[in-house]
Amino acid sequence: MSMSMTQRPFAVNLKFSIKPERRDDFLSLMKENQVKTLETEAAALQHVVGEDITEPNTFYLHEQFTSEQGFIDHRDTPHVSDWIQFRNSDPFTNGGEPIYHFYFGTHEAEKVPIRSAFCLHVELCIKPEVRDAFLEVIENNQKGSNSDVEPLCLQYVYGENKDTPNTFVFHEEYAGDNGGKEGFDFHATTPHFVEWETFASTNPFTKPPVVDFFKTL
Protein backbone atom coordinates (compact mmCIF):
# COMPACT_ATOMS: atom_id res chain seq x y z
CA MET A 1 0.00 0.00 0.00
CA SER A 2 1.38 3.41 -0.89
CA MET A 3 0.09 6.94 -0.95
CA SER A 4 1.11 10.26 -2.43
CA MET A 5 3.34 12.55 -0.39
CA THR A 6 0.36 14.91 -0.04
CA GLN A 7 -1.13 12.27 2.28
CA ARG A 8 1.73 11.76 4.67
CA PRO A 9 1.27 9.15 7.40
CA PHE A 10 0.49 10.29 10.92
CA ALA A 11 2.82 8.73 13.49
CA VAL A 12 3.06 8.36 17.26
CA ASN A 13 6.14 7.54 19.36
CA LEU A 14 5.47 6.63 22.99
CA LYS A 15 7.70 5.75 25.96
CA PHE A 16 6.74 4.62 29.48
CA SER A 17 7.90 2.36 32.33
CA ILE A 18 5.66 -0.28 33.90
CA LYS A 19 5.79 -1.53 37.49
CA PRO A 20 7.34 -5.04 37.48
CA GLU A 21 4.24 -6.58 39.03
CA ARG A 22 2.12 -5.19 36.17
CA ARG A 23 4.42 -6.42 33.38
CA ASP A 24 2.48 -9.56 32.43
CA ASP A 25 -0.84 -7.71 32.41
CA PHE A 26 0.64 -5.03 30.19
CA LEU A 27 2.21 -7.43 27.71
CA SER A 28 -0.98 -9.46 27.33
CA LEU A 29 -3.04 -6.32 26.81
CA MET A 30 -0.64 -4.62 24.41
CA LYS A 31 -0.01 -7.63 22.19
CA GLU A 32 -3.78 -8.02 21.78
CA ASN A 33 -4.05 -4.29 21.09
CA GLN A 34 -1.32 -4.56 18.45
CA VAL A 35 -3.02 -7.40 16.59
CA LYS A 36 -6.51 -5.87 16.73
CA THR A 37 -5.22 -2.49 15.58
CA LEU A 38 -3.61 -3.93 12.47
CA GLU A 39 -6.36 -6.44 11.68
CA THR A 40 -9.48 -4.35 12.28
CA GLU A 41 -8.51 -0.73 11.51
CA ALA A 42 -8.31 0.18 7.83
CA ALA A 43 -6.25 3.30 8.57
CA ALA A 44 -3.65 1.48 10.71
CA LEU A 45 -0.31 1.04 8.94
CA GLN A 46 2.07 -0.05 11.68
CA HIS A 47 2.07 -0.91 15.38
CA VAL A 48 5.41 -1.62 17.06
CA VAL A 49 5.87 -2.74 20.67
CA GLY A 50 9.38 -2.93 22.10
CA GLU A 51 11.39 -3.02 25.33
CA ASP A 52 14.49 -1.01 26.21
CA ILE A 53 17.72 -2.95 25.70
CA THR A 54 19.12 -1.98 29.14
CA GLU A 55 16.12 -0.96 31.27
CA PRO A 56 13.65 -3.83 31.87
CA ASN A 57 9.99 -2.80 31.90
CA THR A 58 10.64 0.39 29.94
CA PHE A 59 8.59 0.08 26.77
CA TYR A 60 8.20 1.91 23.48
CA LEU A 61 5.36 2.07 20.97
CA HIS A 62 5.45 3.30 17.41
CA GLU A 63 2.22 3.56 15.46
CA GLN A 64 1.41 4.90 12.01
CA PHE A 65 -1.93 5.71 10.41
CA THR A 66 -2.95 6.87 6.96
CA SER A 67 -4.05 10.20 8.46
CA GLU A 68 -4.54 12.01 11.75
CA GLN A 69 -8.23 11.16 11.50
CA GLY A 70 -7.22 7.49 11.40
CA PHE A 71 -5.50 7.95 14.75
CA ILE A 72 -8.52 9.79 16.18
CA ASP A 73 -10.73 6.88 15.10
CA HIS A 74 -8.21 4.45 16.63
CA ARG A 75 -8.70 6.07 20.03
CA ASP A 76 -12.43 5.25 19.88
CA THR A 77 -11.94 1.49 19.46
CA PRO A 78 -12.70 -1.08 22.18
CA HIS A 79 -9.07 -2.24 22.33
CA VAL A 80 -7.86 1.29 23.00
CA SER A 81 -10.55 1.61 25.68
CA ASP A 82 -8.93 -1.43 27.33
CA TRP A 83 -5.55 0.36 27.19
CA ILE A 84 -7.03 3.52 28.71
CA GLN A 85 -8.55 1.50 31.53
CA PHE A 86 -5.17 -0.12 32.17
CA ARG A 87 -3.41 3.25 31.93
CA ASN A 88 -5.72 4.64 34.59
CA SER A 89 -5.02 1.77 37.01
CA ASP A 90 -1.69 3.17 38.29
CA PRO A 91 0.59 0.79 36.30
CA PHE A 92 3.53 3.19 35.78
CA THR A 93 6.65 3.62 37.87
CA ASN A 94 7.39 6.95 39.51
CA GLY A 95 8.62 9.15 36.64
CA GLY A 96 7.68 6.50 34.09
CA GLU A 97 4.42 8.03 32.93
CA PRO A 98 3.86 8.03 29.15
CA ILE A 99 5.72 10.52 26.96
CA TYR A 100 4.05 11.08 23.59
CA HIS A 101 5.34 12.49 20.31
CA PHE A 102 2.92 13.08 17.43
CA TYR A 103 4.21 13.83 13.94
CA PHE A 104 3.58 13.52 10.23
CA GLY A 105 6.18 11.40 8.46
CA THR A 106 8.04 12.63 5.40
CA HIS A 107 7.79 9.19 3.78
CA GLU A 108 5.13 7.48 1.70
CA ALA A 109 2.67 5.46 3.73
CA GLU A 110 2.92 1.69 3.59
CA LYS A 111 1.54 -1.23 5.56
CA VAL A 112 4.25 -2.72 7.80
CA PRO A 113 3.83 -6.17 9.40
CA ILE A 114 4.72 -7.14 12.95
CA ARG A 115 8.40 -8.13 12.81
CA SER A 116 11.57 -8.55 14.86
CA ALA A 117 13.93 -5.56 14.81
CA PHE A 118 16.51 -3.54 16.68
CA CYS A 119 14.98 -0.07 16.98
CA LEU A 120 15.76 3.53 17.84
CA HIS A 121 13.60 6.40 18.91
CA VAL A 122 15.35 9.76 18.62
CA GLU A 123 14.33 13.30 19.54
CA LEU A 124 16.35 16.19 18.09
CA CYS A 125 15.69 19.83 18.99
CA ILE A 126 17.26 21.99 16.30
CA LYS A 127 18.24 25.67 16.44
CA PRO A 128 15.96 27.60 14.05
CA GLU A 129 18.90 29.20 12.25
CA VAL A 130 20.28 25.79 11.16
CA ARG A 131 16.93 24.21 10.30
CA ASP A 132 17.49 24.18 6.53
CA ALA A 133 20.98 22.73 6.85
CA PHE A 134 19.67 20.08 9.25
CA LEU A 135 16.89 19.07 6.87
CA GLU A 136 19.32 18.72 3.98
CA VAL A 137 21.62 16.44 5.99
CA ILE A 138 18.85 14.36 7.54
CA GLU A 139 17.03 13.88 4.23
CA ASN A 140 20.27 12.54 2.79
CA ASN A 141 20.67 10.25 5.81
CA GLN A 142 17.15 8.93 5.35
CA LYS A 143 17.65 8.39 1.63
CA GLY A 144 20.89 6.48 2.17
CA SER A 145 19.49 4.42 5.03
CA ASN A 146 16.44 3.31 3.05
CA SER A 147 18.49 2.46 -0.06
CA ASP A 148 20.36 -0.65 -1.19
CA VAL A 149 23.42 0.78 0.57
CA GLU A 150 21.90 -0.51 3.82
CA PRO A 151 20.25 -3.88 3.19
CA LEU A 152 19.76 -4.40 6.94
CA CYS A 153 17.91 -1.12 7.48
CA LEU A 154 14.23 -2.04 7.62
CA GLN A 155 12.93 1.47 8.19
CA TYR A 156 14.10 5.04 8.75
CA VAL A 157 11.26 7.52 9.21
CA TYR A 158 11.03 10.91 10.85
CA GLY A 159 8.92 14.03 11.11
CA GLU A 160 8.52 17.28 12.97
CA ASN A 161 6.60 17.21 16.24
CA LYS A 162 3.18 18.59 15.34
CA ASP A 163 3.05 20.77 18.45
CA THR A 164 6.70 21.85 18.83
CA PRO A 165 8.43 23.52 15.85
CA ASN A 166 12.03 22.42 15.18
CA THR A 167 11.65 19.29 17.31
CA PHE A 168 12.16 16.24 15.09
CA VAL A 169 11.22 12.70 16.01
CA PHE A 170 12.61 9.48 14.50
CA HIS A 171 11.79 5.78 14.36
CA GLU A 172 14.41 3.42 12.95
CA GLU A 173 14.47 -0.38 12.57
CA TYR A 174 17.35 -2.70 11.72
CA ALA A 175 17.79 -6.43 11.07
CA GLY A 176 20.76 -8.80 11.26
CA ASP A 177 22.68 -10.67 13.91
CA ASN A 178 22.51 -9.85 17.62
CA GLY A 179 18.83 -9.07 17.43
CA GLY A 180 19.32 -6.59 14.60
CA LYS A 181 22.14 -4.58 16.17
CA GLU A 182 24.34 -5.69 13.27
CA GLY A 183 22.25 -3.51 11.00
CA PHE A 184 22.55 -0.46 13.22
CA ASP A 185 26.30 -0.95 13.64
CA PHE A 186 26.69 -0.98 9.87
CA HIS A 187 24.48 2.10 9.57
CA ALA A 188 26.91 3.96 11.84
CA THR A 189 29.76 3.34 9.36
CA THR A 190 28.04 4.69 6.24
CA PRO A 191 29.01 7.94 4.49
CA HIS A 192 25.57 9.46 5.04
CA PHE A 193 25.77 8.78 8.77
CA VAL A 194 29.30 10.21 8.93
CA GLU A 195 27.93 13.35 7.26
CA TRP A 196 25.27 13.50 9.98
CA GLU A 197 27.89 13.10 12.72
CA THR A 198 29.89 15.95 11.21
CA PHE A 199 26.83 18.18 11.26
CA ALA A 200 25.94 17.11 14.82
CA SER A 201 29.41 18.16 15.98
CA THR A 202 28.65 21.81 15.06
CA ASN A 203 26.35 22.26 18.10
CA PRO A 204 23.06 22.57 16.17
CA PHE A 205 20.86 21.53 19.13
CA THR A 206 18.89 23.60 21.63
CA LYS A 207 19.14 20.71 24.09
CA PRO A 208 20.95 17.35 24.08
CA PRO A 209 19.56 14.70 21.74
CA VAL A 210 17.48 11.89 23.24
CA VAL A 211 18.30 8.46 21.80
CA ASP A 212 16.56 5.30 23.03
CA PHE A 213 17.39 1.77 21.88
CA PHE A 214 14.92 -1.09 22.09
CA LYS A 215 14.04 -4.46 20.60
CA THR A 216 10.60 -5.43 19.39
CA LEU A 217 8.53 -7.96 21.33
What confidence tens digit (pLDDT) does each residue in 61-71 have? 999 999 999 99
What confidence tens digit (pLDDT) does each residue in 90-148 have? 999 999 999 999 999 999 999 999 999 999 999 999 999 999 999 999 999 999 999 99
Q: Which helix (H) or strand (E) holds 186?
A: helix 181-187
Rounded to whole angstroms, the Cα distance separating 205 from 166 reads: 10
- Contact between 201 and 211 under an 8 Å Cβ cutoff? The reply is no
Rounded to whole angstroms, the Cα distance separating 11 from 67 reads: 9
Rounded to whole angstroms, the Cα distance separating 47 from 77 reads: 15
Q: pTM (2 decimals)?
A: 0.95
Could you give phi then psi for residue 196, rounded to 5 degrees? Answer: -65, -45
- Predicted confidence at residue 11, as pLDDT, reads 98
Give CA separation, 75 vs 30, 60, 202, in Å.
14, 18, 41
